[in-house]
Amino acid sequence: MLQVSGLAAAYGDSQVLFGIDLTIARGEVVALLGRNGMGKTTTIRTIMGLTRAVGGSAEFAGTPILGRPPEAVARLGIGLVPEGRQVFPTLTVRENLVATAANRLGRSNPWTLERVCALFARLGERFSQPAGTLSGGEQQMLAIGRALMTNPDLLILDEATEGLAPVIRAEIWRCIEALKAEGQSILIVDKNLKVLRRLADRHYAIEKGRTVWTGTGADLDREAEVVHRYVGV
Amino acid sequence: MPPETGARSKLAVAALMVLLAALPFAADALGFPATTPLVTRMLIYAIAAASLNLVLGFGGMISFGHAAFYGIGGYAVGILFQHARLSEPLFGMMLGTDQFLLAVPAAMVLGGVAALAIGALALRTTGVQFIMITLAFAQMLYFLFVSLKYYGGDDGLIVRRRNVLFGLDMRDDKTFYFVVLVLTAAFFALVWRIAGSRFGMVLGAIRQNERRVAAIGIGVYRYKLAAFAIAGLGAGLAGGLWANYARFVSPDMMHWTKSGELMVMVILGGAGTLFGPLFGAAGLIALETVLSAWTERWQLFLGPILLLIILFFRGGLSGLVALLSGRLR
C-alpha cells in the first residue's frame, strides 16, 4: 500500500534523511524504531508532504506522493495523528471530529461519531467541551478519533502514548489493538518496545536518517543487540 | 468559537431586536429624533465590521484592505444611480438603476467578486505579507477612484436620492432605518449560520493551525478564499447601504484609515464573537459622537479609552457584556 524507497529530506540546507526504505501492506501494522533525532518524525512528515523531500520515491496505493501538498496526500487516504496531539483547542470535541470528517474512499462502514465514542468512551462524556480543556490522554484519543473520521486506509500514529499516564497508555494501546483487529493498516512510531513487539507485524530501525534494520517482533527478540544498538534499551 | 445558542442568549437576542425595533419611536417620543440616523449608521458599520470579523475573527486572516469592498459597494450604488439619472448607458450597453433591489444586490455581488479576485492572489501569502498585499490592493483601488474624474474623483459622487424600494418613502429616516435593520439582522443570521456550520468549524481550525488542517486533508486555500469572498459580499452590502444613507460616496470609503476603523470595531467589540462587531461599531460611533461634540481633539481621548477597554476586558466589549451578564445571573 505504501512504498517508500531511498527517501531523502532536508530542512532548508541541512539534510536529515538520507535513505529511508519502508513498505506497508494492507492490514499490516508497522513500527518505526530509533532513538530521538534519528528521523522518525521527519520520515512521517516527508511522507505527508509537510517536509520537503529531496530524493527517493514514495507511492501510496500506486500514486506517487512526493512533492504533493499535504492535503492532497491526506486525501489519498492517509490519516495522520501528529506528535504532540495538536487538537484544535477552542473547538469542542464534537467540532474537532466533525469539522474535517470525510469518507473520500467511499467506505461501506464509515467511522461515525458513535463509533468513535464507542472506541473512546471518555470522548462521549466530553462531547461539547472545548478540546483545550481535555486532559492529555483525552486529547490524544481525540486526535486519533479525528484521524479515523477521515476514514483513512493508512493510519499514522506519531508518539501516540508519549507523556501519558500508564493507565491512559494502556487504554490507547487497547484501542490500537482493536483497530488492528478490524484490519486497519497502521504505521506507528513509539518508544514502548514491549507493546510494539507484540502489536506490530514488522519493525524498521532508523539511524541517522537511514533504514538500517528490518524484521519481525520475533527477530527483535532474537537479535538483542539490534535493539540495544538502534533503540538504546 | 461556538455560536451563542443557549436559551439565555436567545432571550438576549430577542430583547435586542425588540429594543432596536422600538428605538425610532422612543427617540421621537423622547425628543431625540437624531438618534435614528445615528443608529442607522451604527448598523451599517456593524454589517461591515461583521463581514471583516468573518476573515479576521473566525478565520484569523488579518485583512488590512477591507474598506476596498465597502467602497466598491458604495460606488456600485453611486455609479448605477448616476447613469440612471443621466440616462447614459454604462459600458455602452447597460442602463443604470435607482432600484434598491437591483443596486444593492449589485453592490454585494461586486464586493464579493472583487474579494474573490483580490483574495485569490493575497491568500497565497500569510502573515505580514498578507496584511501588506490586502492594504496595497485597497490603496490601488482608492487611487483608481481618485483618478476617475467622471465619477467625481477626489470630490466623490453625490447620490441625489435614495434608491427606490417598492412604494416606501426611503427619504424618511425611520423607514430607511427599518430597511437597514432588516438587512443587518439577516446578515448577522447568516454569520451565525456560518459560524455553526462545518465550514465555520474548519475556518476556526484553520485559524488555530493551518498546516494541521491541511495534514488532515482539507484544502485550506479554498476555505479561506470562500470566507474572504463572503466577507467582500457583506462589505459590499454595507457600502451600498452607506451610499443610500449618506447619499454620497467618495474614495475615502476605501482609504486605509477606513480599513483600520473597521479593524478597531472588530477588535473593540471582540474578534471572533457573533455580536462583537455590533458592539464594536456602536461603541466606536457612540464614542466618536459624544467626544467630538465635547471637544475638537476628541481622538486624543478616544485612544486611551480604546486602550483601556482592550487591556482590561479580554474579548473587548463582548467580554464586558458577558462579564456583566454573568454578574446578573
Continuous H helices in B209-275:
210-215, 220-246, 256-269
Segments of chain A with pLDDT less than 50:
none
Say which amino acid occupies B148: L
Is it the case that residue B84 has pLDDT exceeding 70?
Answer: yes
pLDDT at B174 over 50: yes
Helices B316-328 + B256-269 axis angle, to 10: 20
Determine contact: B219 vs chain A, CB below 8 A. Answer: yes
Per-residue pLDDT for B1 more than 60? Answer: no
**How high does pLDDT run on average in chain B?**
91
What residues of B are in contact with residue A74 (Cβ under 8 Å)?
214-218
pLDDT in tens, B234-282: 999 999 999 999 999 999 999 999 999 999 999 999 888 899 999 999 9
CA distance B78 to B98: 9
Helix and strand counts by DSSP (H, E) for chain A: 10, 10
Residue boundaries of the structural domains of chain B? 7-259
pLDDT at B3 > cutoff 60: no
C-beta atoms of A86 and B212 within 8 A = yes
Which of A50, A79, A100 minimises the CB distance to B211? Answer: A50
Backbone dihedral angles phi then psi of residue B157, each to the nearest 5 degrees:
-130, 130
pLDDT at residue B299 in the model: 85
Which of B1, B211, B217 is nearest residue A90 as measured by Cβ atoms? B1
Report residue B328's pLDDT band, with 50, 70 and 90 as the boundaries: low
Question: pLDDT: is B322 or A90 the higher one?
Answer: A90
**CB contact B124 to A (< 8 Å):** no
Give the Cα separation of A161 and A159 in Å (integer): 6
Give me the mean pLDDT over the B47-55 stretch: 96
pLDDT band at B223 (very low <50, low <70, confident <90, very high): very high
Average pLDDT over residues B204-230: 93
Contact between A186 and A1 under an 8 Å Cβ cutoff? The reply is no
| Average pLDDT of chain A to the nearest whole number | 91
Inter-chain residue contact A71 with B218, CB threshold 8 Å: yes
Contact B205, A99 (CB under 8 A): yes
pLDDT at site A233: 59
Contact flag B217-A48 (C-beta cutoff 8 Å): no
Interface residue B208 vs chain A (CB under 8 A): yes
User: What is the least distance, in Å, from the CA of A78 to any CA of chain B?
Assistant: 8
Please answer yes or no on whether B218 and A89 come within 8 Å at the CB atom: no
Residues 9-68 of A with CB under 8 A from B: 48, 50
- Give the pLDDT of residue B2: 44
User: Testing the interface with B: which of A60, A100, A127 to mutate, by most B Cβ within 10 A?
Assistant: A100
Q: Give A9-65 pLDDT, tens digit per residue.
A: 999 888 999 999 999 999 999 999 988 888 999 999 999 999 999 999 999 999 999
Q: What is the pLDDT of residues B129-144, one digit of tens each?
A: 999 999 999 999 999 9
B-chain CB neighbours of A91 within 8 Å are 201, 204-205, 208
Task: Tell me the mean pLDDT in the region B195-217.
Answer: 92
Contact status of B6 with chain A (Cβ, < 8 Å): no
Task: Map out the domains of chain A with their CATH numbers.
Answer: 2-231 (3.40.50.300)
B81 phi and psi, to 5 degrees? -65, -45
Close Cβ partners of A52 (under 8 Å, ≥ 6 residues apart):
A9, A10, A46
Looking at residues B304-323, what average pLDDT do you find? 82
pLDDT interval class at B327 (50, 70, 90) = low
Q: What is the bridge-based pairing of β-strands A202-207 and A78-81?
A: unpaired
**CB of B194 less than 8 A from some CB of A:** no
pTM of the model: 0.86
Q: What is the structure's pLDDT at A225? A: 81
